[in-house]
A and B are shown apart, each in its own frame.
Chain A
Amino acid sequence: MNRRALLLAPFGVAVLAGAGFWTVLGRMRQGSFDPHDVPSPLLGKPVPDFTLPGLAAYQGFSAADLLAQLRAGGRPMLVNFFASWCVPCVIEHPELMALSRDGLPIWGIAYKDKPEAASGFVAQRGNPFQRIAADQPGRVAIDWGVYGVPESYLVDAGGVIRWRMAGPITPQIAAEQLRPLLKTLA
């Protein structure tokens, strides 16, 4: 009896490991788990200080502008780093348009992009942003902890970063994470 239990043990371990891998792979496919995700130390912290020029004809902004707008609006805002050369940004774009239509103020920062290319991207696909700043050297992005585009930060009315998405905000991620969070913060 004891020996049989011992013989079955490796089988049991294999079944457990298989179930674990299956769960992890399922979550990776769904998008709720990303093994390459870098957890942001900025969550729960105030937005970093910065000042950026506007992209082409659009109005740029600084941390002070963002805080003033948050205080005036009394509701959370999304800061989105994007670039015209970034394919996932194209995938994300319709969802940003939808969020903007649903009343979420979004301020964009064009990351390491040529001004004409970034403004062309917005002109061609539609503009979900109220303001667009240009971070051509990518230095301000480092202060936000950005390591790729698109990357988005939800800032609450008090100027504290509440949520970060590294990668495109898909309709599913918006429905599962961002929209419920907006309800609790409103």
Chain B
Amino acid sequence: MRRLLLVLLLAGSAALGPAHAISDPAEMLANPAQEARAEAVGRQLRCLVCQNESIEDSNADLARDLRRIVRSRIAAGETDHQVVGWLVARYGDFVRLNPPLNAVTLMLWFSPVLALGAGLLAVLLARRRRIIAAAPLTEAEQARLAELLPDTGARAPGAGR
């Protein structure tokens, strides 16, 4: 129950979204629909200075410049795709926080599949070993066991299988 509450709390705080770095309201576009689009685009773009924040979240000078450029391009009527493309032409795919699937990012995208495969393989190997270990005792072993156990005639668990 407590764990469920914790999960709900975490999910709730994630859904609220991070606070962003726009400190100057003059930076925002007058048109709320365009401003919402600019924020959504900016949240997908990496701040090249801090590298682990989006340009919407970063206080770096360059991030502020890029926020302005994103807004002016959206106000000029460009699509989200065109705005991101404009930045990718200058800073490469690295500027996108959600990298596209290509030859360079193949390992990035498929490493979870590889990890899952390695885990499955490990489980299969471990199971196979357990089956081998459960092989019945030989007659000599059974005799030795009977000798060791105080109740004569007792059978070792699993020996009858």
Interface residues of A (CB under 8 A from B): 3, 6, 36, 38-42, 112, 137-139, 142-145, 147-148
Q: Given A138-B62, A139-B65, A147-B48, decide whether A38 and B90 contact each other with a Cβ distance below 8 A.
A: no
Question: What are 22 A-B pairs with beta-carbon distances under 8 A?
Answer: A3-B129, A38-B91, A38-B92, A38-B95, A39-B94, A40-B92, A41-B88, A41-B89, A41-B90, A42-B90, A112-B61, A138-B62, A138-B65, A142-B65, A142-B66, A142-B90, A144-B90, A145-B91, A147-B48, A147-B49, A147-B91, A148-B48
Residues of B within 8 A of A139 (CB): 65
B69 interfacial by beta-carbon distance below 8 Å: yes
B51 interfacial by beta-carbon distance below 8 Å: yes
CA distance A145 to B94 in the complex (A): 11
Most A-side CB within 10 Å, residue of B48, B66, B88: B48
Interface residues of B in 40-58 (CB under 8 A from A): 48-49, 51
Q: Mark B64-104, 1 if CB is under 8 A from A, else 0.
A: 01100100000000000000000011111011000000000
Residues of B within 8 A of A137 (CB): 65
Residues of B within 8 A of A145 (CB): 90-92
Q: Is the CB of A41 within 8 A of B92?
A: yes
Interface residues of B (CB under 8 A from A): 48-49, 51, 61-62, 65-66, 69, 88-92, 94-95, 125, 129
CA distance A144 to B125 in the complex (A): 53
Residues of A within 8 A of B91 (CB): 38, 41, 145, 147
Complex: chain B residue closest to A35, CB-CB: B51
Residues of A within 8 A of B66 (CB): 142
Q: Is the CB of A38 within 8 A of B48?
A: yes
Complex: chain A residue closest to B48, CB-CB: A147
Q: Is the CB of A148 within 8 A of B61?
A: no
Complex: chain B residue closest to A43, CB-CB: B92
Known: A142-B65, A143-B90, A145-B92. 20 other contacts (CB 8 A): A6-B125, A36-B51, A38-B48, A38-B91, A38-B92, A38-B94, A40-B92, A41-B89, A41-B92, A42-B90, A139-B65, A142-B62, A142-B66, A142-B69, A145-B90, A147-B49, A147-B62, A147-B91, A148-B49, A148-B62
Residues of B within 8 A of A3 (CB): 129
B127 to chain A, nearest CB (A): 14
Complex: chain A residue closest to B92, CB-CB: A41
CA distance A41 to B90 in the complex (A): 6
CA distance A41 to B92 in the complex (A): 5
A106 to chain B, nearest CB (A): 22
Q: Given A38-B94, A41-B90, A143-B90, decide whether A138 and B48 contact each other with a Cβ distance below 8 A.
A: no
CA distance A3 to B133 in the complex (A): 12
CA distance A179 to B110 in the complex (A): 39
CA distance A42 to B87 in the complex (A): 12
CA distance A3 to B69 in the complex (A): 61
